[in-house]
Amino acid sequence: MTKADLVDHVTALGDLTRRDGEVIVETLFDSIIDALKANDKVEVRGFGSFRSRQRKPRTGRNPKTGESVAVPAKRVPYFKPSKELRDLVNPGEANGAKRSNAASAHAVVDVHHPPAM
């Protein structure tokens, strides 16, 4: 989905003009960017959280020449999806894994009467 697709989707949800949809999407993105610039964290319940992480300085390599290059320390944006979002993206893993682990944890096998195969 592109930014234009997102604007179209927001515009279609309400009785809005395309310009109103653009303003809503731009305001949302600008608010997240401003918070990350201020080193704040943005949490959207049920969606995830945006934060910035500090990367240490390191020695990189120029792939064209093979020469070593000093890469300075920097802050990078990071998104961590919520559990709800992960479960929506991977619906089979969310409940299936929990049930199989829970069932195996509670399954007690009687050594005198093993289960039928």
Whole-number pLDDT of residue 93: 74
Which domains are delineated in the chain? 3-89 (4.10.520.10)
State the sign of the Cα–Cα–Cα–Cα dihedral 13, 16, 17, 23: negative
Phi first, then psi: what are they for 76, rounded to 5°? -125, 145
The 10 Å Cβ neighbour count of residue 21 is 20
State yes or no: pLDDT of 84 exceeds 60. yes
Burial class (CB in 10 A: 0-12, 13-18, 19+), 7: buried
Residue 15 pLDDT class (50, 70, 90 cuts) = confident
- 35-39, 48-52, 80-84, 107-111 — which is least confidently predicted? 107-111
Mean pLDDT of 1-11: 94
Summarize pLDDT for 19-33 with one digit per residue, the tens. 999 999 999 999 999
Residue 116 pLDDT class (50, 70, 90 cuts) = low
